[in-house]
Amino acid sequence: MTRVTREIKGRVNAEINRCIAIAEKHYDRSFKFPTVVYKKRGTTAGTACDLTYTIDLNSVLLMENGDDFIGTVTHEFAHLVDGIVNPHTRDGGIRYDRFGRTCRGKRSVHGPSWKRIMRLFGVRNPTRCHSYNVSNARVKRSRKHVWVCGCGNGRVVLTNLKHNRQLRLASSGYGMYSRGHTPRRCGVYTYKGIEGTATPKPFRDRYPTPKPKTSTKLAHAVKIVRDNPELSRVKLIALIQVACGMSTAGATTYYYNAKKA
């Protein structure tokens, strides 16, 4: 986590104090100083929690965007003030509809009441989104490892932790399997690489060469026998054996069948 310097923390606190002073004057009541933490990660600049009266700020964005970021402090503190002075803007707040019946308050955290408070704090155009440079704040996505079963249809995608477990267990038939594709049925799972970077299946694996049918093998044998009348029986059988990829016994049978054909 990026360390938030004492100087930046001082500016965050100063902004909150500035807003507290304005709010206390306007609403004629006191506002506590909120708990401020710097745990937010990712591309979210900050969040505010009514229940714990806490503002959580993104330390990476805070350190990189400096003065611009102070607007987030204002934004989040406005949420806390809004939650106190306009509790109906929160989930579960009780309000009355036009017939005098009680109803649940509609959740509208960036609604008119929040915008009013933002203007009170001196923000001209309150927007709900921030526009900081967030490129460095992106949380690194952990790599996902792909394992595939023997039949090729069972597939599990594992996090680093589970992947390391699988490395130890897969060869012994334990580990993670997709439903119905157990090592007993499909053979042990093999590692295919990191998800998204897996090499596509080779063309020949997708369209395997069909095995020559018996009839075409015979046609082959017939052609070999007819085309080479000068060759001996042994040489013809050897030729058939190589051309059709069969045993000597098989080639011999085809040789005689070819002679008869």
Rule CB under 5 A: which residues touch Zn ion? 149, 151, 154, 181, 186
**Least distance (Å) between residue 141 CB and Zn ion:** 25
Strands (E), 52-205: 54-58, 94-96, 102-104, 145-148, 155-158, 190-194
Smaller CB separation from Zn ion, 45 or 224: 45
Evaluate whether 48 touches 72 at the Cβ level (below 8 Å). Answer: no
Compute the distance between CA of residue 79 and CA of residue 41 in angstroms, rounded to an integer.
Answer: 19
Evaluate whether 74 touches 19 at the Cβ level (below 8 Å). Answer: yes
Evaluate whether 82 touches 118 at the Cβ level (below 8 Å). Answer: no
**Least distance (Å) between residue 143 CB and Zn ion:** 24
Q: Are strands 190-194 and 145-148 parallel, antiparallel or unpaired?
A: antiparallel
Smaller CB separation from Zn ion, 105 or 212: 105
**Least distance (Å) between residue 133 CB and Zn ion:** 19
**Least distance (Å) between residue 154 CB and Zn ion:** 4
**Least distance (Å) between residue 245 CB and Zn ion:** 28
Compute the distance between CA of residue 42 and CA of residue 108 in angstroms, rounded to an integer.
Answer: 24
Element at 25 (helix H, strand E): helix 6-27
255-261 LR contacts (CB < 8 Å, sep 24+): 255/221, 255/225, 257/218, 257/221, 258/218, 258/221, 258/222, 258/224, 258/225, 259/225, 261/218, 261/222
Smaller CB separation from Zn ion, 117 or 239: 117
**Least distance (Å) between residue 50 CB and Zn ion:** 12
Residue 67 structure tokens: 């003065």
Compute the distance between CA of residue 227 and CA of residue 235 in angstroms, rounded to an integer.
Answer: 13
**Least distance (Å) between residue 205 CB and Zn ion:** 16
Smaller CB separation from Zn ion, 83 or 154: 154
Give the Å distances, CA to CA, from 151 to 82, 90, 155, 184: 59, 53, 10, 11
Smaller CB separation from Zn ion, 113 or 241: 113
Smaller CB separation from Zn ion, 149 or 251: 149
Smaller CB separation from Zn ion, 8 or 154: 154
